[in-house]
Chains A and B, each alone.
Chain A
Amino acid sequence: MATVGTNNMQAKLVLLGDMGAGKSSLVLRFVKGQFQEFQESTIGAAFFSQTVAVNETTVKFEIWDTAGQERYHSLAPMYYRGAAAAIIVFDITNNDSFVRAKKWVQELQRQGNENLVMALAGNKSDLASKRKVETEEAQTYAEENGLFYLETSAKSAQNVNELFYEIARRLPKAQPIQPPSGMLLSDRPADRTAKSSCCS
C-alpha cells in the first residue's frame, strides 16, 4: 500500500519473476549501484528500502525482492499482499521466463487491486544477440494487460533507474489508507536517498 505524508509517501514494491531473471540484480543496481556477475539465488525474499524524489514528492520504496525458485511460489502472496507496485521481471534471452512472467501478471490481476502499478521488465537487454523474446511481443502483451514495459539491463544500468522512477510517478497521489494487512509498517527514516534523478 502507499501511504501519503505531507510531501512524502511510502510504497511497498514487490519484484516477481522466474529465477535468474535478474530481480536481485535490478534491485542491487537501483539501491547500491552494483552489479555482480555471480549473483546468488535469493532465499525467501530480501528486503531493501530506497527513497526517490519525483515532483516534490519523496517516495520511500520498501522493496521485496522475492525468490524465483519454484518452492517459494506458493509463498509469494506473503510478499505481494498490500503492495502498491509490482515489477514483473523476465529475461529477454529466455522464453520460459517470459511465460512465467505472464503467469505472475495473471496471479496479480486475480488479486483485484486496481491501484496496483505494474511494470514489466525485460531484463538483460545487454544480451541482445541472444534475445528470444521480441520487444514488440512483450510491449503488446504489456499494453493489453495494463502494464508498462521497459527493457532493462542490470549489468549496464540501462533503464534501471527509469523503471523505478516511472513507478514512483505512476503511484496514485493519494490513496485511501487501507486497513492494515497485518504488517506493521515501520516508520524509520529512509536509509538513504537515491542520488540520481530520473534520467541519469
Chain B
Amino acid sequence: MFSRNCADRHTCFGLLALRFNYSPYLACRTAPRTCTSYSTPLGNFALIFGDDDDGPCYLPSYAPEKAEDDRDLLSSEGVNGGGADATSEEGTSEVQEFHRNEDEYPPSQSPSDVNGFKCISYNMKELDLDDDRRSAENMEGSCEQAKDSDIEVEPAAGNGHVEGYKSYASSECGGASKSGQGQDTDLLKRDLIPGKQHQNEDDSSAAWRRHKKHFFILSHAGKPIYSRYGDEHKLAGFSATLQAIMSFVENGGDSIKYVRAGDHQVVFLVKGPVYLVSISSTDEPLRALRRQLDLLHGQLLLILTKSLEKCFVKNANFDLRPLLGGTENVFSSLIHSFSWNPASFLCSYTCLPLSHTARQAAGAALQDVADNDLLFALLLSDSKVISLVGAQKASLHPDDIFLLSNFVSSSESFRTTESFSPVCLPKYNSTVFVYAYVRYLDTDTCLILITKNSEAFFHLKDCRARVESFLMETHVLRDISNSVARGGLRVEDLPAGDSIYGSVPRSKRVGTVGDGKASNSTAAGTKERPGVGGAAGLWHFIYRSVYLDQYVASEFSSPTQTPEAQKRLFRAYERLYASMHGAPGGSHQMQYRRDENHVLLAWSTADFEFFAAFDPLAEKSSAITVCNRVCQWIRDVENDFFFVGASPFNW
C-alpha cells in the first residue's frame, strides 16, 4: 500500500492504535484518498484515506495472529478490571440466524478474505470523516449509512429481514427521558456504583484498556475535561492524542466521526471547542453512540451552559475540570443509563403508571401554581414523569427531562432539604441558566419547579407547599407510592386474545380465541408456566407513542431476570431501534429477527413504535398476533400509562 502526504495522519492514527493496542484495522475517510501501511512495534497498520465511493478498501495490517492476541486481550470478559463495568457491557456477539438476504448488499461490502486472512472491507460511504460543510442533518444521514455498513462488517449487528412495507421516514430523534423498567425487575439500573470508578488507572494500565466503553470529553486544545475511567490528569497524554487526531482532520476542512478498529468503535463528536469521544467494544450502532455523546454534551451544558465556550475563547488552554467539581456522579449515572434506560435511545420519556384521575389531580396541582414566575413544573417519581406543566406555552423537551432528572437523581445533596440551583436546559435554551427549585416529597417523588427569576425561591417554596398539601389531601401521593410498589405492565397480565387478532398463540394455555374472561385464564396460564413470560413466549416489550413522545416498557419477566439477559435485550432493542430509523433507503416498518437469545419483533407505524422480545422458540405468527394484542391492550389502558394531557411537543 502506498502513502501520499499523510505522515501526520499516520502518526495520529498510529498513536491511537498504539495507545489502545487495538486495531488490526483502522479506516477513515477524508478528502484525498491515500492508503498507507504503517509499521509499529506491534505490527503493521494500514490506513486509508479517500473520498471515492467506488468500492472497498482492504486493510490487511497486523499479522493475523498478533491481531487475534490483541483482540483476545481486549475483549475477554472475565478479566474485566474492577467489577464496576463487569456487567455494564456485553461482549456477546449474536449470531444472526435468519432471513439475511445477501442480495440486499452490494458485494463490495461483504467481508472478504485477502491474503489468507480475514479482512474487513469498507465501502467508503460508510466511513466517517465527514465534510464539515454538511449540515447537522446530513451528518445524521451519514451515520445511518455507516450504521448500515456496520451491519455488514459485523454480522452480529445484522439487519433483520424486512418483513413487508418500506420506508417510513424516521422522524428526527427528538429527546429522551429517564425511565426504569419497573422498580422490582430492573436489575441493570441498580447496578450503578456512584462516583468515578477506577480512579487510579490511566492509559498505561491494562485494566484501563480493558473497559468496554470509554467516554472522554476534552477541549479543542487537548485538555482533558472528563473521562469515564481513570484520572483525567493522568490521561492528559491520551487526551492530547485524541485532540491531535481530531484537529488534524479538522484542519483539512473535514471532521472525523468514526473509526473502527477491530472490535472497537471510536466515535467523535465536535461541539465547538468541546470534543467528545467514545471508544467502545459494545457493538452498539453508531447512531446510538453518537446520541450518547450528544447527551453527554447536553449534560455538560446543563451544568455549565454554553457560555463554557467563552472560557476557551479567552484562553484556549483553559482547564474546565475545576468547574465540574463534584459532578462525577452526574456523568457516571448518565453513562450508566446508556445501558439500562431505553430513553437514552428512544428519545422519549416514560410515565409512572397512575390512574387517570390521580394523574389529572397531580396535573391540576401543578397547573394551580403555574404563573409568570414558573417556567416548568415537573413531578417525577425517580426518573418517571408523573405530571408536568409548561407555563407560558413553553414545552419541555424529553432530552431536557432526561438530563434534568439524571442531574437531580444522581446528586444526593438534593435529598437532604429543599434547594435552589442554577441549571441550564440545553434544548430549551442552552445559553442561559434557569433556576430549579428541587424538593423530594418522599423517597421517590420529586417536585422540580423551574423559574427564570433568580429571586423566586420563596415563591416557589410556597408553590411547593401548596402542591404538596394538595397531593396529600387528594391522596395522590399515596397513589404514587402504591404505583411504585406495584410496578408497571407485566407481560403475564396481557389479556387473552381476541378473534379479531388472529390465531391462538403457541401456548394454548393463554386463553382461547374470543375468550372474554381473559385475565383469569391468563393468570392461570402464568402459574402453569413459571419462568416463561407472557403469551406466545412474550418476554418483554416497549411501546412508544410517536405523538406523545412517551414510551412504556413492560417489567422484565422471569426469563429476563438476570442482568446479562437484560443487558442483551437492551442492546438488542438499541440495535433494532437504530435499524428501524437508520436504514439508508428509508426505515423498515416491520422487522422480525431471531437469534439464539430471543426473537425480536419491531413494528413502526405513524402512531407508535413497538418492540418486543420473545422466547427464541416463539413462532412468528403467534408472536405477531400477540404483538397486536399488546398494542391493543396498551391503547386500552393508555390513560394509565401515558400523560395524555400533554400537548404534543413542538420543536
Interface residues of A (CB under 8 A from B): 19, 24, 28, 40-48, 67, 69-72, 75, 78, 181-186, 188
Contact = CB atoms under 8 A, between A and B. Distances in A.
A182 B457 contact: no
Contacts of A69: 323, 325-326
A112 to B, nearest CB: 20
A183 B459 CA distance: 8
Contacts of A42: 413, 419
Contacts of A188: 465
- Tell me if A's interface is mostly helix, strand, loop or mixed: loop
Contacts of B423: 44
A38 to B, nearest CB: 9
Interface of B: 303-304, 322-326, 411-414, 416-423, 433, 435-436, 454-455, 457-459, 461-462, 465
B326 A47 contact: no
Contacts of B304: 71
17 contacts: A40-B412, A43-B411, A44-B435, A45-B420, A46-B416, A46-B419, A47-B417, A47-B457, A70-B322, A71-B303, A71-B304, A71-B324, A71-B325, A75-B433, A183-B455, A184-B458, A184-B459
B457 A183 contact: yes
Nearest to B328: A41
B458 A44 contact: no
A94 B411 CA distance: 25
Chain B CB within 10 A, most for which of A70, A181, A184, A185: A184
A78 B454 contact: yes
Given A69-B325, A70-B322, A183-B458, A47 B413 contact: no
B272 to A, nearest CB: 18
Nearest to A77: B454
Nearest to B308: A71
A100 B180 CA distance: 42
B101 to A, nearest CB: 53
A134 B304 CA distance: 36
Contacts of B324: 71
A46 B322 contact: no
A44 B325 contact: no
Contacts of A44: 419-423, 435-436
Given A40-B411, A46-B418, A71-B304, A185 B325 contact: no
A123 B461 CA distance: 30
A47 B461 contact: yes
A191 to B, nearest CB: 10
Given A70-B322, A71-B325, A184-B459, 19 more contacts: A19-B325, A28-B416, A42-B413, A43-B326, A44-B435, A46-B416, A46-B419, A47-B461, A70-B323, A75-B422, A78-B454, A181-B455, A183-B455, A183-B457, A183-B458, A184-B458, A184-B462, A185-B458, A186-B458
Chain B CB within 10 A, most for which of A19, A45, A46, A181: A46
B458 A41 contact: no
- 7 pairs of A and B residues whose beta carbons are closest in the complex: A44-B421, A41-B326, A182-B455, A40-B412, A71-B323, A46-B419, A40-B413
Contacts of B413: 24, 40-43, 46
A19 B327 CA distance: 13
Contacts of B411: 40, 43
A72 B250 CA distance: 34
Nearest to A48: B417
Contacts of B414: 43
B465 A46 contact: no
A41 B457 CA distance: 21
Contacts of A78: 454-455
B300 to A, nearest CB: 11
Contacts of B418: 46-47
Contact of B419 (A19, A45, A181): A45
Contacts of A181: 455
A47 B439 CA distance: 10
B455 A19 contact: no
A75 B457 CA distance: 14
Contacts of B422: 44, 72, 75
Contacts of B325: 19, 41, 69-71
A83 B304 CA distance: 26
Given A43-B414, A44-B420, A45-B419, A186 B461 contact: yes
Contacts of B461: 47, 186
A31 to B, nearest CB: 8
Contacts of B416: 24, 28, 46
A44 B462 CA distance: 19
A24 B433 CA distance: 24
A45 B465 contact: no
Nearest to A78: B454
Contacts of A28: 416
A95 to B, nearest CB: 17
A194 to B, nearest CB: 16
A47 B465 contact: no
Nearest to B304: A71
Contacts of B417: 46-48
Chain A CB within 10 A, most for which of B326, B435, B461: B326
A138 B465 CA distance: 42
B484 to A, nearest CB: 23
Contact of A45 (B323, B326, B412, B421): B421
A198 B461 CA distance: 30
